[in-house]
């Protein structure tokens, strides 16, 4: 390794998990042993861009930019060998996204117009399913899955702030200020989600459910990290953020009702109730000020904003399909069920 070195080792991060294939095995081994990752030259090219192996490997590498892993040196964040492998996997992932979205909208108006109108048919909506007939065990699984993002909620999007100017930056900071609790640690959305997990009898420790999270979930979190860590993808990150804010309020309203109907607890319901009100306001600010301000400064980023929105919808739909298929088959949507019962989802 070259560059800045440090003897500092993370002591409060989540534990490393075992790999699920050649790439994630190589990354996990490299982090455990403070060595370079070793894998076959064609491993990345041959990897499934939607698969367990690639997305766990990417998640492990991205997590070095958040809280790291217990026992792993902080200097591994910028290890050149790990970065080279990460870049190759990112290119594989991005290529697959762009190939899936060749017919996607190229303008902000076309990308967001369908999201601003509540669909007449909600039969394909996961939040609608949970609102109407979801069971408590399904709400627990859903929360365990989503915990990999919600326990670091707003963090990936914060990377875009120094890359914005003027109206866009001011509006983005205002929204993030709310996400981070408006100066009150107990009101941070990540803390509210941790409270939700306690109400549901889940472990609220950061990253606790990583080993159970399937690729469709990991991909949704990896998308935010990918966009956030690359200045060249700042438009896509704004598109992702806007998509999340635009679609959050209706879904949160349904999930709050689901939590209340199942008797999940006050904190569980509060997390989603808070998002109904907050994100309804955020939606207006992000569309008119963040996107509007960015397009005034950099109109050439419009296609990137649209791509970020389309990629978010694509991966959220893939995750919803995965969860729905698992539940319809009577099995867990996690790789292993939370309570050790039922049939484990296939790797």
- Do residues 80 and 133 share a domain? no
- Do residues 73 and 115 share a domain? no
Q: What is the pLDDT of residues 186-226, one digit of tens each?
A: 999 999 999 999 999 999 999 999 999 999 999 999 999 99
pLDDT score recorded for residue 341: 42
- Interval 267-296 mean pLDDT: 89
- Do residues 55 and 114 share a domain? no
Q: Tell whether the model's pLDDT for residue 121 goes beyond 80.
A: no
- Interval 114-131 mean pLDDT: 80
- Interval 244-268 mean pLDDT: 93
Q: Tell whether the model's pLDDT for residue 264 goes beyond 90.
A: yes
Please report how the helices 302-328 and 80-100 are oriented relative to each other, as an axis angle in degrees rounded to 10: 80
Closest alpha carbon to 21 in 325, 320, 49? 49
pLDDT score recorded for residue 279: 67
pLDDT score recorded for residue 170: 97
Q: Tell whether the model's pLDDT for residue 283 goes beyond 90.
A: no
Q: Tell whether the model's pLDDT for residue 51 goes beyond 60.
A: yes
Q: Tell whether the model's pLDDT for residue 104 goes beyond 80.
A: yes
Q: Domain ends where: 100, 125, 148?
A: 100
Q: How confident is the model at residue 4 (pLDDT cuts 50, 70, 90)?
A: low
Q: Domain ends where: 100, 129, 147?
A: 100
State residue 282 phi and psi, 5-degree precision: -60, -35
- Whether residue 214 lies inside any domain: the answer is yes
- Do residues 45 and 123 share a domain? no
Q: Tell whether the model's pLDDT for residue 344 goes beyond 50.
A: no
- Whether residue 335 lies inside any domain: the answer is no
106-120, 247-261, 283-297, 322-336: least confidently modelled range = 106-120
The CATH number assigned to the domain holding 201 equals 1.20.910.10
Predicted TM-score of the model (pTM): 0.93
- Do residues 34 and 125 share a domain? no
- Interval 136-157 mean pLDDT: 96
pLDDT score recorded for residue 100: 97
pLDDT score recorded for residue 342: 41
pLDDT score recorded for residue 276: 84
Q: How confident is the model at residue 122 (pLDDT cuts 50, 70, 90)?
A: low
Q: How far apart are CA 188 and CA 283, in angstroms?
A: 19
- Whether residue 11 lies inside any domain: the answer is no
- Whether residue 315 lies inside any domain: the answer is yes
- Whether residue 338 lies inside any domain: the answer is no
pLDDT score recorded for residue 345: 35
DSSP 9: B
Q: Tell whether the model's pLDDT for residue 9 goes beyond 90.
A: no
Q: How far apart are CA 5 and CA 245, in angstroms?
A: 39
Tally the C-alpha atoms within 13 A of residue 139's C-alpha that lie toward its C-beta.
Answer: 30
Q: What is the pLDDT of residues 289-310, one digit of tens each?
A: 999 999 999 999 999 999 999 9
DSSP 206: T
- Do residues 210 and 78 share a domain? no
- Residue 16: strand, helix, or coil: coil
- Do residues 162 and 245 share a domain? yes
Q: Which domain covers residue 50, as residue numbers?
A: 22-100
Q: How far apart are CA 29 and CA 179, in angstroms?
A: 35
Mean pLDDT, rounded, of the chain: 92
- Do residues 67 and 172 share a domain? no
Q: How far apart are CA 1 and CA 75, in angstroms?
A: 9
- Do residues 132 and 157 share a domain? yes
**Number of independent structural domains in the chain:** 2
Residue with tokens 């896509």: 236
């Amino acid at each position: 390794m070259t560059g800045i070195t440090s003897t500092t080792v993370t002591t409060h991060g989540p534990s490393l998990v075992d790999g699920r294939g050649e790439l994630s095995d190589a990354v996990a081994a490299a982090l455990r042993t403070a060595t370079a990752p070793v894998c076959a030259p064609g491993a990345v090219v041959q990897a499934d861009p939607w698969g367990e192996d690639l997305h766990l490997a990417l998640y492990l590498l991205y997590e070095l930019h958040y809280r790291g892993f217990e026992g792993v040196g902080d200097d591994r964040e910028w290890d050149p060998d790990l970065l080279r492998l990460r870049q190759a996997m990112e290119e594989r992932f991005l290529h697959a996204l762009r190939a899936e979205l060749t017919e996607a909208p190229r303008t902000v108006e076309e990308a967001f117009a369908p999201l601003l109108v509540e669909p007449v048919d909600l039969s394909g909506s996961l939040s609608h399913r949970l609102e109407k007939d979801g069971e408590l065990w399904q709400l627990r699984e859903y929360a365990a899955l989503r915990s990999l993002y919600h326990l670091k909620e707003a963090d990936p999007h914060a990377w875009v702030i120094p890359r914005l100017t003027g109206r866009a930056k001011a509006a983005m900071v205002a929204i993030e200020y709310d996400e981070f609790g408006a100066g009150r640690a107990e009101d941070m959305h990540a803390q509210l989600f941790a409270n939700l997990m306690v109400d549901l009898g889940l472990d609220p420790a950061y990253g606790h459910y990583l080993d159970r999270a399937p690729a469709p979930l990991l991909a949704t979190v990896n998308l935010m990290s990918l966009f956030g860590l690359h200045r060249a993808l700042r438009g896509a990150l704004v598109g992702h953020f806007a998509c999340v804010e635009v679609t959050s309020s209706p879904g949160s309203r349904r999930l709050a009702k689901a939590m209340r109907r199942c008797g999940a607890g006050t904190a569980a319901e509060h997390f989603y109730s808070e998002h109904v009100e907050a994100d309804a306001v955020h939606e207006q600010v992000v569309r008119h000020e963040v996107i509007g301000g960015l397009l005034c400064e950099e109109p050439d980023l419009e296609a990137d904003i649209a791509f970020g929105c389309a990629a978010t919808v694509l991966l959220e739909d893939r995750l919803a399909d995965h969860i729905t298929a698992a539940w319809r088959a009577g099995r867990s949507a996690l790789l292993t069920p939370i309570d050790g019962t039922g049939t484990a989802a296939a790797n």
